[in-house]
Structure 1
């Protein structure tokens, strides 16, 4: 059973996938997707698992692994 952080990470990833049309290497500001403390924690979990990339502490991008997980 996924933890709360995993559930939020998947929600953020799905929102990012939808916002980018599922295209690879598309960056969006985290604030456009979700700007809660829980989302920031979940993004770190996703980065640690290789699902997301973060640039500048505020822009996120799905990795190929993250895109496959969501698609």
Structure 2
């Protein structure tokens, strides 16, 4: 399985937030999705990526800097 490069963990930690904090603010019951996103196993949906970028105060391109444009979520 190919991992998806991202800087989610670094941005989250800069804000002193736990995965469960992010999950709660995005309306999820557990941090499973956040864990998979940070591990590079899956992408967030576009609406969730936008909400995540807003929450972390970083553009999506900064959260996923090495992902080629054709592999980014639409």
TM-score (ref. length: structure 1): 0.30
Q: Which has the larger radius of gyration?
A: 2
More strand as a share of residues: 1
TM-score (ref. length: structure 2): 0.30
